[in-house]
Amino acid sequence: MDKSIKKSSLTISENGLEKKTTGKRLEVLKTYKIYIGGQFPRTESGRYYVPINAVGKKLANVCLSSRKDFRDAVVSARGAFGGWSGRAAFNRGQVLYRMAEMLEGRKAQFIEELTQQDASKAKAEKEVNLAIDRLIYYAGWCDKYQQIFSAVNPVASSHFNFSVPEPTGVVSIVAPQNDSLLGLVSVIAPVITGGCTCVVLASETKPLCSVTFSEVLNSSDLPGGVVNILTGKPSELASWFVDHMDVNATIYCEKDSSVKKMMREKSALNLKRIIFYDKVNWYTEEGQSPYFIMDTQEIKTTWHPVENIAGAGGGY
């Protein structure tokens, strides 16, 4: 009598039902977290979504940020504003240059993520190179834009009258949804160059390199809270980006006319500055300019009395 036991060809699935094995390994998707205050928490809502590229491949598990996540990010940005705006301009330039160095060292990873998000190899390489160059461009402006845009104003009284740009504070940004790396870098860099801090909503459909860029920020001497990056749906969060009373300016980079109208209406209630970059081609020279720095600057004017020491009205 043959008492040997034959091995079953069945296995137990996660639902407790028997099925045949497929032989194909199930890929473990990376979980891309949000970036708040120099830390990488999961969204407090516990929600996530799975972006899919043009060929139907699932890319990652991505946090679906909530209003509470945005509030936490604003608190972090406000806390970091005093220290960042008070830094020497040359030091801010060093930090931005360090960001470019770290991005250069991880080019291959960013090119790979961009190609997963439907970019060709050549386009992906071009986008990464432009992002690196853009950081270096703004690093050079950190200690120069104030000289260019400051003024000594003529007045009729015995005073010196100076006008100088100062950072406006916390800036909320709905980043470009198609240019997930270059667009993100192009809107963040001028804001932090000018001493502001920011909360950014990355591309919903192409979030991979946007979130990986937060790892570059975290390793580049940038203080926690200066840049905070969220992932999720602009349709859910855009209204809170402009409605929050502790946000001083909002940047919107898409062409949705209904969202732009909503932002104009809400900003009228809390005197928030609204900036639209819906017509900018980030791949050209118009994608970088010191005037982008000035979009989130205030002009402070100071009067200083001087003594007249000569009959002709000369003074010092």
Percent of the chain with pLDDT over 90: 76
> Is 18 inside a domain boundary?
no
Split into its structural domains, the chain has a count of 1
Q: Kindly state whether residue 16 falls inside one of the protein's structural domains.
A: no
Number of neighbouring beta carbons within 10 Å of residue 284:
9
Average pLDDT, integer, range 248-257 = 95
**Entry pTM:** 0.86
Chain centroid, CA 44 distance in Å: 20
Q: Is the pLDDT of residue 316 over 50?
A: no
Q: Which residues contact 14 (CB under 8 A, 6 or more apart)?
A: none
User: What tens digit of pLDDT does each residue of 36-92 get?
Assistant: 999 999 999 999 999 999 888 889 999 999 999 999 999 999 999 999 999 999 999
Q: Residues 6 or more apart from 215 whose CB is under 8 A from it?
A: none
3-class DSSP state of 239: helix
Q: Which residue has the tokens 């406006």?
A: 168
- Residue 142 inside a domain? The answer is yes
Residue range of the domain that includes 208: 37-281+291-305
Q: Is the pLDDT of residue 222 over 60?
A: yes
Tokens representing 69? Answer: 């996540």
Q: Assess if residue 315 is contained within a domain.
A: no
Q: Six-digit token pair at 44?
A: 């407090």
**Which H/E stretch holds residue 241?**
helix 234-243
Which amino acid would we find at residue 113? E
Residue 261 sits in a domain whose CATH number is: 3.40.605.10
Is residue 11, in this structure, part of any structural domain at all?
no
Choose among 108, 116, 114, 115: nearest CA to 57: 116
User: What local confidence, expressed as pLDDT, does residue 77 receive?
Assistant: 98
